[in-house]
Amino acid sequence: MRKLDTKTIVVASHNAGKIREIADLIGPFGFSAKSAAELNFAEPDETGTTFEENATIKALASAEASGLPSLSDDSGLVIDALGGDPGVYTANWAETADGTRDFAMAMQKVETALEKVGAVKPEQRTARFVSVLCLAWPDGHTELFRGEVEGTVAWPPRGTAGFGYDPVFQPEGYETTFGEMSAEEKHGWKPGDAQALSHRARAFKIFVETCLDA
């Protein structure tokens, strides 16, 4: 495993919600970071069929464009009753004809699919959020970190916090959805904490323990 020996990195994302969450997570470590969106980098085509492949594509693109280590995230909602869908295509389910993303529509699409297969009881609606972080260096070296959190798909959506599918994901052991949680409740984590809740925070915890001298 390669250690990260600089505090200047690029957050390889154009997703405002992800950028905000990653900024919250890296903030306590004193990083100077700009996003690929701020730097006007082109969005690479995510042609991978796994979270790991797509995270690597994004991180390498920003590392090459910036000459700096770059941290990406590829994440999605994996629903058992739907055979793992939407999975790596989680964002695609929200795409509209005009090229924007409508997550209210995407959540309804998930609910319609679940109803179609008869998954109406909580025990039939098990799911997990997956996040894979990729740290890439300009020389092409990469490190991958995977975090998962188990839960169920709730309906109707609850809460307006977070982003994406957060209002319909209720993590195991909680009565609230990610959409009803504050940022601190959802993914707040710092060194010394035994556990992190969100998939992204769990992946970040492994990144810190692996690549930083924290």
For this structure, is 74 an active site residue? yes
Total length of the chain: 214
Distance CA 164, CA 168 (A): 9
The strand order across the sheet containing 32-35 reads 32-35, 8-11, 70-79, 126-136, 142-153, 169-171
Distance CA 65, CA 79 (A): 35
| DSSP class of 134 | E
> Quick check: 58 and 44 in contact, CB under 8 A?
yes
Which one from 74, 85, 166, 193 is the annotated catalytic residue? 74
Residue with tokens 């730097």: 39
Distance CA 46, CA 56 (A): 9
Helices (H), 44-118: 51-66, 103-116
Distance CA 162, CA 182 (A): 8
> What are 121's two structure tokens?
């009881």
Annotated catalytic sites, by residue? 74
